Structure 1
Amino acid sequence: MTVPDCQLYLISPLDVSGAFPDRLARALDAGPVAAFQFRVKGIDEHAAAKLAAPLQAICAARDVAFIVNESISLARRLGADGVHLAGDDGDVADARERLGRAAQIGVSCRDSRHAAMEAGEAGADYVSFGAYFPSMTKPTEIRADIELLQWWSGLFELPVVAVGGITAANCVPLVAAGADFLAVSHAVWGGDEAQAIVDFVQALATGAQARAGS
């Protein structure tokens, strides 16, 4: 039995203007990344679409899934690869109807087993748990337990994403516990993005070895 590799899922900083497209390209060229989530706040859809266009093109050229955070309407407008839902952003059925069968639909479940099972039954393509560590990106009033990853990966085939304050230095136990993806943001964009990807790739390999040996 082969153990699936855990992959990186990048989340954008809130400011993706200026030189950020060059930073994204540099990060994606530094090592394998499965997906990139476009996450901006406080701007209208037209402005968001304008910012998203070059980033979406960079991802498409590198076969990296382009996922829109929260907005089903923006994901549809862009023809994005998918949408990530949380709270009152809409439900899986609505997203599926508006985005089509091929769209990747993810749901934030925080620390809730019930919410994750409901999302899976509704047809989500992945669920996410977290925060696992204090985050520089968003408030982390809810903290998930690593046993959630072990429980989910042991019972369900639906991919699970670990999120929240994850760095190359602290991620190995999450990979070993069964995370299919690590959602990371500040750990990459808060410094040298290319070096951060290299560091994560090494940590993922270490985690995969621990997972295979467990």
Structure 2
Amino acid sequence: MIDCQLYLISPLDVSGAFPDRLSRALDAGGGRATAFQFRVKGVDQHEAARLAEPLQGICAQRDVAFIVNDDVALAKRLGADGVHLGQGDGDPKEAREELGREAQIGVTCHASRHLAMEAGEAGADYVAFGSFFPSTTKASEHRPEPDLLEWWSRVFEIPCVAIGGITPANCGPLVSAGADFLAVSGAVWSGDEQAAMAAFAQAMERAATD
């Protein structure tokens, strides 16, 4: 049994009815969604904190980790469960000093074994590989193959996250290859989030039993 889980990433607009959509998505995932990344751009920290507050509460009620994208200071201000760092967003060791031992710190490693090993040595709690498929959420020229996940999960204990253009239709090989988490955004938020989450849960179950 492969115990792969969903790592939901927010759309850039989390205002309006989005908190209700998040609640519905998490409840429809059959317990598969265990992490949520708060990813907003172009707003000041005060506004970001205001937008984050209801979403953080929804995650806390469901025991879903609330991770802040790119911003260690905001993660600290919110008392978030962790932070996700891109390659240009800071050092995992410094983030650990700021956020403490319990924080979950993730690092984007694109398609690079070397970057992933460096992140692990620097104390990252998980590494993210991608983009496995073309993504409308975030452009990336990096296109790893599923065997990168297979290699990582065979050699290292640190969990790996697959990211980039993942849908219920194409996620099977990533689950089979050993991804601990599938990071998903557009496939959930661009349509009916409940139907999408149910479809992911079914596809992941199928891949785990194949």
Which residue does the alignment assign to 1:208? Answer: 208
Aligned with 1:34: secondary structure?
Answer: strand
| 1:115 partner amino acid | L
Give the CA deviation at 1:4: 4.3
Instruction: Please provide the CA RMSD for this pair.
Output: 0.8
Which residue does the alignment assign to 2:22? Answer: 24
Which residue does the alignment assign to 1:13? Answer: 11
**1:114 equivalent in alignment to 2:114:** yes
Which residue does the alignment assign to 2:84? Answer: 84
Give the CA deviation at 1:142: 1.4
Say if 2:2 and 2:178, in contact at 8 Å, map to a contact too.
no
Which residue does the alignment assign to 1:184? Answer: 184
Q: Deviations over 1:103-160 (max 9, x none)?
A: 0000000001000001111110000000000101011221111111111011111100
**TM-score scaled to structure 1, two decimals?**
0.96
Which residue does the alignment assign to 1:48? Answer: 48
Aligned with 2:115: secondary structure?
Answer: helix
| 1:125 partner amino acid | D
**1:135 equivalent in alignment to 2:144:** no
More displaced stretch, 201-210 vs 51-60: 201-210
Q: Deviations over 1:52-88 (max 9, x none)?
A: 0000000001100000000000000000000000022
Q: Which runs of 5+ in 1 are unaligned?
A: none
Q: Distance in 2 between matches of 1:136 and 1:169?
A: 16
Give the CA deviation at 1:191: 0.4
Q: Distance in 1 between matches of 2:80 and 2:171?
A: 28
* Aligned residue pairs, count: 208
Deviating above 6 A after TM superposition, structure 1's stretches of 4 or more consecutive aligned residues are: none
| 1:91 partner amino acid | D
**1:153 equivalent in alignment to 2:136:** no
Q: Distance in 2 between matches of 1:145 and 1:114?
A: 15
Q: Distance in 2 between matches of 1:200 and 1:174?
A: 12
Q: Distance in 1 between matches of 2:123 and 2:61?
A: 28
| 1:24 partner amino acid | L
Q: Distance in 1 between matches of 2:202 and 2:36?
A: 19
More displaced stretch, 134-143 vs 104-113: 134-143
Q: Distance in 1 between matches of 2:137 and 2:7?
A: 15
Q: Which runs of 5+ in 2 are unaligned?
A: none
